[in-house]
Amino acid sequence: MALGLRSIGQVLAVLKPEFEDISISKIRFLESEGLISPERAPSGYRRYAESDIERLRYILDVQKNHYLPLKVIREHLDMMDRGQQPPALSSSANTANDADAIEQANALAPRPAPPKRAIRVTRRELLELSGLTDAALNELEKHQLVVPRRGTIYYGRDALTVAVIARKLAAFGMDARHLRVVKQAAEREVGLIEQAIAPHLRRNPTSRALPAEVMQLVLHAHAAIMRSQMPQ
């Protein structure tokens, strides 16, 4: 092995004390998303330089402490690759203000989001990536909160998102029973949206993007209304 390069197992050992939920599957997942690009030995094994480890440390830190989605993390890494400084994340107030500004801009000028890279993981990989226990995942599956893609045994992006959020909510005493109520509310909202825009779609059968645009606007309204109901 070249001087200064580490195997994926050695990288795991370095980062595990800081990030308990890190796993080999998660490191490989971040690579599949294009966030890290380790060298490959002639044998095909991954070889990580110190810069790769620091990049991983940054990704894991902003995921854990700032809950940044992969899309935003990718933008920050692109800035770092160009020698630019990514936005400061120390102030939660500034982060909240930025999020509000983004939401308002999206509401005023909704644009279709760029297509996301498809995710396809097995149940075992879902457990490793999300950090859920098998029992916790069983409960989510019992309430149809996390389900495989239709007709397959693989799980997609939404299933992984719900699994990760469920693990984080568990720290606050919320479990699958609470999320089931959220699911029921979401199903009612989707039904309401479909019913409300049906006349418009009948008059404008070519407006295929409309449901997604309306859904995005309703999501922004939903988030704003929930914030307004929180104790000040």
Burial class (CB in 10 A: 0-12, 13-18, 19+), 211: middle
Is the CB of residue 60 less than 8 Å from the CB of residue 19? yes
In tens, the pLDDT along 113-145 reads 455 566 788 999 888 888 889 999 999 999 999
For the chain, give every domain's residue range.
8-89, 118-174, 178-232
Name the one residue in this structure whose structure tokens are 């029921």. 184
pTM above 0.75, yes or no: no
| Averages of pLDDT over each 10 residues, the chain, 232 residues | 78 91 88 89 86 92 82 89 80 46 45 59 88 91 91 89 91 91 88 84 71 79 83 68
Supply the pLDDT for residue 94: 46
Rounded-to-integer distance, Cα 54 and Cα 32, Å:
18
SS3 155: strand
Q: Which CATH architecture has domain 8-89?
A: Orthogonal Bundle (1.10)
Is the CB of residue 126 less than 8 Å from the CB of residue 93? no
Q: How far is CA 169 from CA 32, 58, 105, 136, 175, in A?
A: 27, 23, 29, 12, 7
SS3 48: strand
